[in-house]
Chains A and B, each alone.
Chain A
């Protein structure tokens, strides 16, 4: 994407406020760059519309993909890994850059699909057209900022939250704060614990190779002890198990094993739903 295109879209996005032609938009952006951060009043309002660092297609291609297979050092850390979000999620409808801050440097690219499902991400923070999202790549608790350029992001509200307490092997699913269900679950062993913190559901797979569960919900988090697992990158998932005797035990390699009725309920919660593991 050329700089001019990007600035043009910026001016168009804000046309209701700036009523500005692209060239004037360019002038405004330059003024913001020169004056830096921390202004107030009218200038401050414009500064909040942080400029987008343009990136050419060739440069975007060279950035690592933010998928479960990626290991992207230097991504901003989750600012509140034990807190629920306000429920906002975004769908990435085409590949976009991932920035290290609002108006910051691009350091990764976010494809439109994650493990075969459309990319829906949990939003941690939003400022104007900028969205801080939880990344599906390693290391755990990685975040990045996406810019809603030309409507490439679809926003939606998600009322669901999954809370997992590994100490008492419990999972609770809530919708708008109301309990949908609570179950006894199985977790990772002492050697291969289920990672704690704030993760999100990144895909919904009707399992076609393994027969331990009809449905697997891969999460954004990864095992800290399994660098790879079964030829994959050690993605943690929520899934069923043929034998309920594993519930209430530390017997998995990091995954969260749930009974069939829990899996049935979880199969309906949106992609991007936050899973808080403590």
Chain B
């Protein structure tokens, strides 16, 4: 990755060596893992919305939040959009969603879809969806729909809640709310997360496994042998297990 770049790389790698971070094995391990991905909203067909904000786990952990996004006004309006990915996990959410299917075709009363929050989560190959104040055509939707809960608008549209699809690479794709109009001539996906299962050595710092972090080479065990990564109540706080990833701090 960029840590291999020449520019400033020498100092970074020297510092990394001082830290005992085994960069190359860690990077190699990340590339072998199944790729996670997440986006808050995407649509294709007669009207297109690029998957936004789109993230995949090729650089490890990343998270993004957008206050708004440009989408065709007559199709939908959304509030804050979030997406987060890491090796073996992904999540996405959208707040204050309103979708007007009448932008595509006239379905009369059956055209309004709204929710305060729509959220998809994928963790170690298992998916879930959560919806708050969600309604389609005035009908309230369950807060925790079972996988692949269909809501049909006969003949023209189908809405799938907690749509779960197993991909060819073995990852699971979870879409909290997926709209399919006129045999896929228009699809709208709201809150999507794809993840695989974590390999044994891709520790993401769950707090209870500080001892087995092979890819980081025991970099933080020495000074805190009494902590041992064990977070049992009342003990000493554990040394952290660094997570491979990126967040734009203020340099």
Show the binding face of A for B, using Cβ within 8 Å.
Answer: 57-59, 61-62, 65, 68-69, 89, 91, 93, 115-118, 120, 151, 154-159, 188, 192, 201, 203-216, 218, 223, 226, 229-237, 239-240, 242-243, 252-255, 260-261, 263-264, 267-273
Cα(A210)–Cα(B15), bound, Å: 14
10 A-B pairs besides A229-B251, A267-B242, A268-B223 with CB distance below 8 A are A116-B60, A116-B63, A154-B231, A157-B235, A204-B242, A208-B2, A239-B249, A240-B12, A260-B14, A270-B237
Please, which residue of chain B has its CB at the minimum distance from the CB of A195?
B250
Quick one: which of B169-206 are within 8 Å of A by CB? 204-206
User: Within 8 Å of chain A (Cβ to Cβ): is B110?
Assistant: no
Task: Report whether B143 and A57 are in contact in the complex, using a CB–CB cutoff of 8 Å.
Answer: yes
Chain B residues closer than 8 Å to A223, beta-carbon distance: 250
Residue ranges of B at the interface with A (Cβ–Cβ < 8 Å):
1-3, 5, 7-16, 18-21, 23, 26-27, 30, 59-61, 63-65, 82, 84, 86, 116-117, 119, 130-133, 143-144, 204-207, 216, 219-220, 222-224, 227, 231-251
B18 in contact with A264 (CB, 8 Å): yes
Smallest CB–CB gap between A262 and chain B, Å?
10
Would you give 15 A-B contacts (Cβ < 8 Å), ordered by A? A58-B132, A117-B243, A120-B237, A158-B236, A205-B61, A206-B26, A209-B2, A214-B12, A214-B21, A235-B250, A242-B11, A252-B251, A263-B15, A268-B220, A271-B240
Give the chain B neighbours of A272 by CB distance below 8 A: 237
What residues of chain B lie closer than 8 Å to A188, measured between beta carbons? Answer: 250
CB distance B242 to A205 under 8 Å? yes
Contacts A116-B61, A118-B205, A261-B18 given: A254-B236 contact, CB under 8 Å?
no
A206-B237 CB under 8 A given contacts A69-B63, A115-B61, A212-B12: no
Residues on B with C-beta less than 8 A from A264 are 18-20
Contact B249 A216 (CB under 8 A): yes
Known A-B contacts A116-B205, A156-B235, A270-B237; the reply to A203 vs B247 at CB < 8 A is yes
CB distance from A104 to the nearest CB of B (A): 21
Which residue from B3, B206, B232, B233 sits with its C-beta under 8 Å from A207?
A: B3
Q: In the complex, which of the residues A208, A229, A242 contacts B249, with contact meaning CB atoms closer than 8 Å?
A: A229
For A259, give the chain B residue with the smallest CB separation. Answer: B15
**A-B interface contact total, Cβ < 8 Å:** 219
* Complex CA–CA separation, A223 to B23 (angstroms): 30
CA distance A267 to B119 in the complex (A): 33
- What separation, in Å, do the CA atoms of A52 and B206 have in the docked complex? 27
A151 contact set on B, CB distance < 8 A: 233
- Report whether A268 and B239 are in contact in the complex, using a CB–CB cutoff of 8 Å: yes
Which residues from chain B contact A271 at a C-beta distance below 8 Å?
A: 237, 240
User: Is A118 in contact with B1, judged by CB distance below 8 angstroms?
Assistant: no
Indicate if the CB atoms of A61 and B130 lie closer than 8 Å. yes
Complex Cα gap A177–B242 (Å): 25
Instruction: Report the bound CA distance from A120 to B210 in whole Å.
Output: 14
Residues of A within 8 A of B216 (CB): 206
Report B-chain residues with C-beta under 8 Å of the C-beta of A89. 237
Residue of A nearest to B251 (CB): A253
Cβ–Cβ contact B206 & A213, under 8 A: no
Task: Decide yes or no: A208 and B246 within 8 Å by CB, A89-B237, A243-B11, A261-B18 being known contacts.
Answer: yes
Q: How far is the CA of A260 from the CA of B16 in the complex (A)?
A: 8
